[in-house]
Amino acid sequence: MAPRPVYFDCDTGIDDALALVYLMASPEISLAGIGTVSGNIDAKRAALNTLDLLDMGGRNDVPVAVGAMDPLTHSFGGGVPHIHGHNGVGDVELPHTDRRPVAESAADMLVRLAHEHPGELDVIAIGPLTNLAVALKQDPSIAELVHEVIIMGGAALVPGNLSEVGEANIYNDPEAAQVVMDAPWQVVLVPLDVTLENAFEESDREALAASDSLLNQALADILNLYFDFYVEEYGRRMCALHDPLAAAIAVGQITAIRAPKVPVVVDATHGPGRGQTICDLRKQRGGPRDVEGAHVRVVLDTDQPLAPVLLERLLNYHS
Ligand code: BDR
Ligand code: CA
């Protein structure tokens, strides 16, 4: 089977870096283009990080476009240096490539790719949803052209991570998330409910460090800061695999087993609920039940742990 074309939207970012290398290592898909957005770090720096990782993986064929520097209605707050480092990649100095982002914006790239691959393009979005919202505003027809949008974001039945109820990617641009959830395309939402259940342990990090690939060694280094941050959540050095889980579901290596299509409303008010993804999960005790007319599938359980699947792909990737 021909690899499925993917537009990948990211804010690289430590777990974004893992997701990116996983996608580079996945023959099921082909990276048609990558757009970056401000979230973990600003969009320009995220693009440079992405280019450095692509270069280390021998994938200089993949174009990278800088996307929105600011969320739709406010200014970018500067990222999260205590989680992802001052440079977005755990304060590790990657070998820098001379390659630069392409001239088109991330939103323009998404619109172009949607038209070039009608009915085929998958969108994997693992940062704030600003670029997707801008693209939809520019050309609403992409909602019919795109095959599926797989989003790491939201919290259905668990607390948020940036506010009591808000998950970072949604909370950082709720107005954009609202546009994206409201558009009539097929969305798979991969929320904290499942991403926090999938983690890398120190043994996984050590396996990457022991690999003879410089790229895997760099990932092991980058993960150090993320592991420190997650001690407060898990009680020991390890990390959640937020973005790689969305990538693995998109690739098809991980299958969602409890994932009803339900109405999802994003709270874009300025009250305590800002950034919440309100998922209508009523009447689901008898098993997953799609609500008629709903187009957002909310992933509440998966078939197998991601960590071994991810590690195997990373360790076997030879650029
Ligand atoms: C999400 O927020 C970002 O910090 C991570 O890269 C991930 O996409 C988790 O809430
Ligand atoms: Ca991310």
Nearest atom in ligand 1 to 162's CA: 10
Res 234: pLDDT: 98
Q: Whose CA is nearest to atom 2 of ligand 1?
A: 168
Sign of CA dihedral 214, 218, 219, 223: positive
Q: Which amino acid is at 276?
A: Q
If you ran DSSP here, which 8-state letter would residue 260 be given?
-
Q: Which of 143, 241, 223, 148 is nearest to 189 (CA)?
A: 148
Q: Whose CA is nearest to atom 10 of ligand 1?
A: 168
- Asked whether the predicted pLDDT for residue 318 surpasses 90, the reply is no
pLDDT band at residue 178 using 50, 70 and 90 as cut-offs: very high
Provide the mean pLDDT of the chain: 98
Task: Report the distance separating Cα 252 and Cα 291, nearest Å.
Answer: 24
Q: Is the bond leading into 13 cis (omega within 30 degrees of zero)? A: yes
- The mean per-residue pLDDT over the stretch 71-81 comes to 96
Reply yes or no on whether 193 is catalytic. Answer: no
Residue to substitute in 10, 192, 243, 276 for testing ligand 1 pocket (most ligand atoms within 8 angstroms of CB) = 243
R_g over Cα of the chain: 18
Give 235: exposed, middle or buried? Use CB within 10 Å, 0-12, 13-18, 19+. Answer: exposed
Reply yes or no on whether 242 is catalytic. Answer: yes
- Cα(201) to centroid of ligand 1, in Å? 18
- Cα(119) to centroid of ligand 2, in Å? 26
Q: Which of 104, 106, 113 is nearest to 34 (CA)?
A: 106
- pLDDT tens string 9-36: 999 999 999 999 999 999 999 999 999 9
Task: Classify 289 in phi/psi space as left (phi over 0), alpha (psi -120 to 50) or beta.
Answer: beta
> Angle 136-141-145 (CA atoms, 0-180°, nearest 5)?
105
Percent of the chain with pLDDT over 70: 100
| Binding pocket residue ranges, ligand 1, CB within 6 Å | 13, 15-16, 40, 126-127, 152, 161, 167-169, 242-243
Res 67: pLDDT: 98
Percent of the chain with pLDDT over 90: 99
pLDDT band at residue 73 using 50, 70 and 90 as cut-offs: very high
Task: Report the distance separating Cα 172 and Cα 211, nearest Å.
Answer: 35
Nearest atom in ligand 1 to 167's CA: 10
Give 19: exposed, middle or buried? Use CB within 10 Å, 0-12, 13-18, 19+. Answer: buried
Q: How many domains does the chain have?
A: 1
Res 173: pLDDT: 98
What are phi and psi for residue 248, nearest 5 degrees? -70, -30
Sign of CA dihedral 246, 240, 127, 110: negative
Active-site annotation holder among 84, 117, 242, 295: 242
Domain span holding position 161: 4-315
Task: Report the distance separating Cα 34 and Cα 101, nearest Å.
Answer: 10
312 Cβ contact list (under 8 Å, min separation 6): none
Concatenated DSSP letters of 23-46: HHT-TTEEEEEEEE-SSSS-HHHH
Q: Annotate 109-153 with three-state secondary structure.
A: HHHHHHHHCCCCCEEEECCCCHHHHHHHHHCCCHHHHCCEEEEEC
- pLDDT tens string 221-264: 999 999 999 999 999 999 999 999 999 999 999 999 999 999 99
- Cα(59) to centroid of ligand 2, in Å? 20
- Retrieve residue 319's tokens: 């650029």
Q: Which of 85, 233, 69, 227 is nearest to 161 (CA)?
A: 233
Active-site annotation holder among 9, 11, 108, 173: 11
Task: Report the distance separating Cα 3 and Cα 175, nearest Å.
Answer: 33
Domain containing residue 90: CATH number = 3.90.245.10
- Retrieve residue 153's tokens: 């974001």
Q: What is the largest CA-CA distance in the chain?
A: 56
Residues with CB under 5 A from ligand 2 (ion): 11, 13, 16, 126-127, 243
- Retrieve residue 172's tokens: 């950082």
Residue to substitute in 9, 11, 41 for testing ligand 1 pocket (most ligand atoms within 8 angstroms of CB) = 11
Per-residue b or e along 238-252, where b marks 16 or more CB atoms closer than 10 Å to that residue's CB: bbbbbbbbbbbbbbe
Task: Report the distance separating Cα 128 and Cα 125, nearest Å.
Answer: 8
- Asked whether the predicted pLDDT for residue 319 surpasses 90, the reply is no
If you ran DSSP here, which 8-state letter would residue 170 be given?
H
- Cα(13) to centroid of ligand 2, in Å? 6
Res 1: pLDDT: 85
Question: Using an 8 Å Cβ cutoff, are 51 and 99 in contact?
Answer: yes
Res 120: pLDDT: 98
- Cα(289) to centroid of ligand 2, in Å? 29
Kindly give the interhelix angle for 214-229 and 14-24, rounded to the nearest 10 degrees.
Answer: 150
